[in-house]
Amino acid sequence: RTLPKVLKYLPGDKAADAKSFMMSFQYWLGGSPENLEAFLLMLADKYVPEIAGKSLVSEEDIIEPILLPDKGIWHPLAPRVFEDVTEYSEWYNAEHAPAAGIDPATAPTVGVILQKSHINTKDECHYVSMIAELEARGARVVCIYSGGLDFSGPVNEYFYAQGSSEAEVDSVINLTGFALVGGPASQDHDKAVEVLEALNRPYLCAVPLVFQSFEEWQRSELGLHPVQVALQVSLPEIDGAIEPIIYAGREGATGRSVPLPDRITNLAERSLKWANLRRKKNEDKKLAVTVFQFPPDKGNVGTAAYLDVFGSIRAVLGELKKEGYNVGEIPDTTEELVEIILKDKEAKFDSPTLNIAYRMPVKEYEEKTWYHKDLEENWGPAPGHLNTDGTDMLIFGAHFGNVFIGVQPTFGYEGDPMRLLFSKSASPHHGFAAYYTYLEKIFEADAVLHFGTHGSLEFMPGKQVGMAGTCYPDRLINSIPNLYYYAANNPSEATIAKRRSYSATISYLTPPAENAGLYKGLKELGELVSSYKGLRENESRGPSIVNSIVAAARTCNLDKDIEDLPLEDADAKEMTLDQRDGVVGAVYRRLMEIESRLLPCGLHTVGVPPSAEEAIATLVNIAALDRPEDGFKGLPRLIAESIGRNIDDIYRGNNQGVLDEVELNQKITEATRKAVRASVEASTNSEGRIDEVNDFFKNIGGAMAMLSGGTPWAKALKEDGFAVPEEKLKPLFEYLEFCLKQIVKDNELGALVGALQGEYITPGPGGDPIRNPDVLPTGKNMHALDPQSIPTAAAVDCARVVVERLLERLKIDNGDVWPESIAFTLWGTDNIKTYGESLAQVLMLVGVKPVPDALGRVNKLEVIPLEELGRPRIDVVVSCSGVFRDLFINQMALLDRAVKMAAEADEPSEMNFVRKHALETAEEMQVSLREAATRVFSNSAGSYSANVGLAIENGGWEGEQQLQEQFLSRKGFAFNADKPGQMDQNADMFKAALSTVDCTFQNLDSSEISLTDVSHYYDSDPTKVVKGLRKDGKKPMSMIADTTTANAQVRSLSETVRLDARTKLLNPKFYEGMLASGYEGTREITKRLKNTMGWSATSGDVDNFIYEDANDVFIADPEMQKRLMDTNPNAFRDMITTFLEANGRGYWDTSEENLERLQDLYQEVEDRIEGVTMG
């Protein structure tokens, strides 16, 4: 800053140019019009021949460089930039506030973060507009800037009164759109979170348009440009930022920043409502708790992934009562709460007998819902036919003091085949709009809490990111602060909720996964295998047991999974010992596959940490994985090494059914469980829960342990015959201690209470807590990851293993012939959890490798030479979920470029199936080779799913043809890296690409969600679609990769469905765990049966015995009938309907006796629901 003054004293004749250069630099840094004018005048006076030395420029006009302080507090009406917060407050409160009509004593204060360059260059119109809007609403502002891109210093210095540790601001808006520390290039998220946690205020990060004009953004269905999404939405989210509202852009002719008036208004209003939460007394605050119901009309109020919604709401009400909120009278039991909210939990969704909290006259609805006319195109004039009695709009729910518990209306088109076929989703119906109008304008909620994963608001039509005032999520939520309990394992859809409905998410734990175990016939079969192991060499008993094993395996339908299982009339006496071992090994392998399969048991209640048993189950799974990035090996690998073996070889032998290897693998699994249990026992209280974690190494693992023969976990391993050195175990068990502390350190209720006080919610990654324990503890504001960072090198390595196993399996099943084309489904959550494994699988198949830059960002590709690849390039058809499209549009470009690079490689067609098919399509459709290589598809912007799940869940679909048309119509929007920023409908190209597919393929990556837990997987399954499009009418093979354990597997779809059914739907451990949750548990069981039928509809790969065995468990047993009927008659009726529908559509062949029983039961349940008294 003193440089210009110093330069005056340099010898003029020797340093004139140096002086001019340094002065020019200072003017340029100043950047303002005055600086630039003086800069040009100085240069002209010294260097322009016609002017230099002729006294044409007055020295007075060449002013000294005017430089702003490097950081400071700026206000457009202030006499100067303040570098002291006390001086600024004195000026603001004494001079500016009275003139602006602001009362400093009562006004909320909003902290605003600005970019210095805009102030320097006087390009600050958008900032001035924001400040004026806030002040017009009676707020004080403190506007800070920094010279660089690290705003942490000014935040710490200027958002607190001098000497105070309590921030002076009530909420913060970052108008730069950048991460708090480091901007777009190099962020320090840990430092940012530390600063924001100390500040402890809601932190909004709004976005100015950079790469688009207003017109381009308004026209774009995608919304904000993908590069800006990556830099100015994804990165600030990792800091804990919320509400990426577009508030300004550049004016086309001049390039100057201009505000978007309606967005400025919305942003100001939302920031002040967050600020208001700090200032309003708890007893006066109003909270709208919103629960979901899907599908409608069927006993499904309070649906959420693995969450006991009503039990959790009771916990929330109890916590709020402690904090001084007016919550009225809290029901004594969860059952009572359900009764009050629904009035009659067996009532149909649209029935007035469901509790009506408010009747909204149409006139009031139209006055308060300014956009109601826009809904008429899809739904006609209000009141419409949904959430209405024909006269008024009906708001369902119940009030508890100042807390309203309301039921969110559904999409409305679930049962309408024509609407389901539309390639773009319809607007919300009048009832849906009325619900949110009620919350904001009539109930006047201070905040809304959406309860569980997930509702419909964030999936309403509109732009993907960067909402306009015409987008329905923006219109519906409008100005209400939106809190959202979201499952920790689902960061992708949580991110959609954050970006499209402005929610601040609070993660909740999904139930810990336990081993499925063996039951009934499977348990007896396991006992037979154990008997054989002791008598295998006994020539009389051994063969006899093998015969029993074969018969029992066939009774349990394992013959469908073991191709060469002997026939029942075969005699094991005629086999050699090795052959008998081979048979038993194959059976034992399948049994252990079922026994060790992980399944979440029961439902989670918010604020209840897991029991010791649940914690052990989670830790066992964490301990099983190698973590090279953390510098230690998984416990199974350490155990294997202790006996001189490689765990990968043991897994390989296990997968091939080698009896000794299956047995050794099981011993290692059991030893792992025992060792982990031993480490947790010291922290377990008398009730089987963990209040606090005892230091593993201080007492039990320290000097005392050494005196007593080692740590408890090492001793447990020794008891099982494995002597693993303590020094090798130490890093792993230190990590497990950290993980256990995270598991029990629950902040789900604490984060909610803090957010309702207007506090910052600490951010954290979402995903699978087993793969990434940083997901714990829950109660965090979830974020995804930097989308440009995937696939990581580790993900590429994992993908290579899966692709090799997939192709090996496909060749075996297809007569040693390579598959030419594989249809892929890419999911958002899966790629976040695995850091892009399935993305890398696609690249691997076409023979292209991703190349990260110095910052680890993946935006370059290299074609792998055929000689290095060692096989043909396999063609792919990639169907991206709507969520993947929203989060990873840059990666879609990567995939599109990769396929086109493969297609353009000059290679023989028998070694490059991408090129082979693209050339054929180019000729058939008369298009260019690049266009013919289009392989990346999704929904249109703002639309999600193929609606196949909606059709099946709600019944009434006309036939499989309808489902297939929906898939092609809704998923046939092509992505083209040559035209980024748009999704064009190209159903013909989609069909052409699918018509050559030999195999359909999906990934399962975590134990919580499998094929029948959700409808998403079959919704995106194109198996029967491909069969209808192939010229030979041949059904493609269907494969599923299972990477839920360290031993990655590739199974056929039918194998996976059988495994899923045996470990969940038919497993007493699973259904008894669900039934313990009552009303909601019955619904969860029905949902899995319905999803099983979904697979019948889309793939035909569901065995008859699954329906037959499910019928035996749930329908043929009178005691089970009564339990289901009593807990949730509507869900039980849905189960009966599903069985009858499965039979009627030809998916289940059964006896007349079973069908008659179902028909009689249906009538009985109907009578119960209708209230008919049974004699």
Reference 72, options 82, 62, 85; nearest CA is 82
Taking only the tens place, the pLDDT of each residue in 47-89 is 898 888 788 888 888 888 877 888 999 999 999 999 999 999 9
Reference 32, options 115, 123, 114; nearest CA is 123
The SS3 of residue 72 is strand
Segment 1082-1101 shows an average pLDDT of: 94
Structure tokens at 822: 């594989």
Question: Token match 């959202």: residue?
Answer: 484
Which pLDDT score is estimated for 311?
93
Q: How far apart are CA 219 and CA 236, in angstroms?
A: 25
Structure tokens at 525: 């079969």
The SS3 of residue 564 is coil
Indicate if the pLDDT at residue 985 is higher than 80.
Answer: yes
Segment 429-455 shows an average pLDDT of: 96
The SS3 of residue 189 is helix
Question: Token match 């919604």: residue?
Answer: 309
Q: How far apart are CA 62 and CA 845, in angstroms?
A: 65
Neighbouring C-beta atoms of residue 309, cutoff 10 Å? 26
Which pLDDT score is estimated for 211?
85
Taking only the tens place, the pLDDT of each residue in 696-718 is 776 554 555 555 668 999 999 99
Indicate if the pLDDT at residue 744 is higher than 80.
Answer: yes
Which pLDDT score is estimated for 1173?
40
Taking only the tens place, the pLDDT of each residue in 366-375 is 999 999 999 9
Segment 764-769 shows an average pLDDT of: 88
Residue 177, judged by CB atoms within 10 A of its CB (0-12, 13-18, 19+), counts as buried
Segment 1060-1086 shows an average pLDDT of: 91
Using pLDDT thresholds of 50, 70 and 90, give the confidence band for residue 1080: confident
Which pLDDT score is estimated for 348?
47
Q: How far apart are CA 237 and CA 785, in angstroms?
A: 9
Task: List beta partners, residue 999.
Answer: 822, 1037
Neighbouring C-beta atoms of residue 700, cutoff 10 Å? 19
CA 968 to chain centre: 25
Lowest mean pLDDT among 216-225, 507-516, 889-898: 507-516
Q: How far apart are CA 809 and CA 756, in angstroms?
A: 53
Task: List beta partners, residue 782.
Answer: 764
Indicate if the pLDDT at residue 166 is higher than 60.
Answer: yes
Whether omega before 383 lies within 30 degrees of 0, making that bond cis, reads yes
Which pLDDT score is estimated for 503?
97
CA 948 to chain centre: 21
Task: List beta partners, residue 1051.
Answer: 1040
Q: How far apart are CA 712 and CA 678, in angstroms?
A: 6
Taking only the tens place, the pLDDT of each residue in 474-505 is 999 999 999 999 999 888 899 999 999 999 99
Indicate if the pLDDT at residue 7 is higher than 60.
Answer: no
Q: How far apart are CA 569 and CA 548, in angstroms?
A: 11
Side by side, which strands form the sheet with 207-213?
Answer: 207-213, 246-250, 257-259
**Sequence-distant (≥ 6) Cβ neighbours of residue 239 within 8 angstroms:** 179, 180, 181, 187, 189, 192, 193, 196, 203, 205, 763
CA 272 to chain centre: 29
Helices 960-971 + 1079-1098 axis angle, to 10: 90
Residue 1149, judged by CB atoms within 10 A of its CB (0-12, 13-18, 19+), counts as exposed
Which pLDDT score is estimated for 5?
57
Which pLDDT score is estimated for 655?
85
pTM: 0.84
Strand 983-985 with 999-1004, pairing: unpaired
The SS3 of residue 514 is strand
Indicate if the pLDDT at residue 33 is higher than 70.
Answer: yes
Taking only the tens place, the pLDDT of each residue in 903-920 is 999 999 999 999 999 999
Indicate if the pLDDT at residue 447 is higher than 90.
Answer: yes
Which pLDDT score is estimated for 58?
84
Indicate if the pLDDT at residue 1033 is higher than 50.
Answer: yes
Segment 868-873 shows an average pLDDT of: 96
Question: Token match 């004699």: residue?
Answer: 1175
Taking only the tens place, the pLDDT of each residue in 275-312 is 999 999 999 999 999 999 876 554 577 788 889 999 99
Indicate if the pLDDT at residue 350 is higher than 60.
Answer: no
Which pLDDT score is estimated for 1175?
35
Which pLDDT score is estimated for 608?
83
Structure tokens at 779: 């109660």
% of the chain with per-residue pLDDT over 70:
95
Indicate if the pLDDT at residue 836 is higher than 80.
Answer: yes
Q: How far is CA 900 from CA 148, 322, 867, in A?
A: 41, 61, 20
> How many CA atoms within 13 Å lie on the side-chain side of 511?
22
The SS3 of residue 355 is coil
* C-beta separation of 930 from 896 below 8 A: no
* C-beta separation of 747 from 779 below 8 A: yes
Using pLDDT thresholds of 50, 70 and 90, give the confidence band for residue 667: very high
| Phi (first) and psi of residue 855, to 5 degrees | -90, 5
* C-beta separation of 779 from 506 below 8 A: yes
The SS3 of residue 687 is coil
Structure tokens at 231: 């830099």
Which pLDDT score is estimated for 353?
58
Which pLDDT score is estimated for 262?
95
Which pLDDT score is estimated for 808?
93
Structure tokens at 386: 């949904």
**What mean pLDDT, rounded, does the chain reach?**
90
Indicate if the pLDDT at residue 4 is higher than 60.
Answer: no
Q: How far apart are CA 918 and CA 487, in angstroms?
A: 41
Taking only the tens place, the pLDDT of each residue in 1128-1150 is 898 999 999 999 999 999 999 99
Reference 779, options 985, 495, 1043, 485; nearest CA is 485
How would you label 1061-1084 residue by residue, b for 16+ Cβ within 10 Å and e otherwise? Answer: bbbbbbbebbbebbbebbbbbbbb
Lowest mean pLDDT among 52-56, 415-419, 783-787, 807-811: 415-419
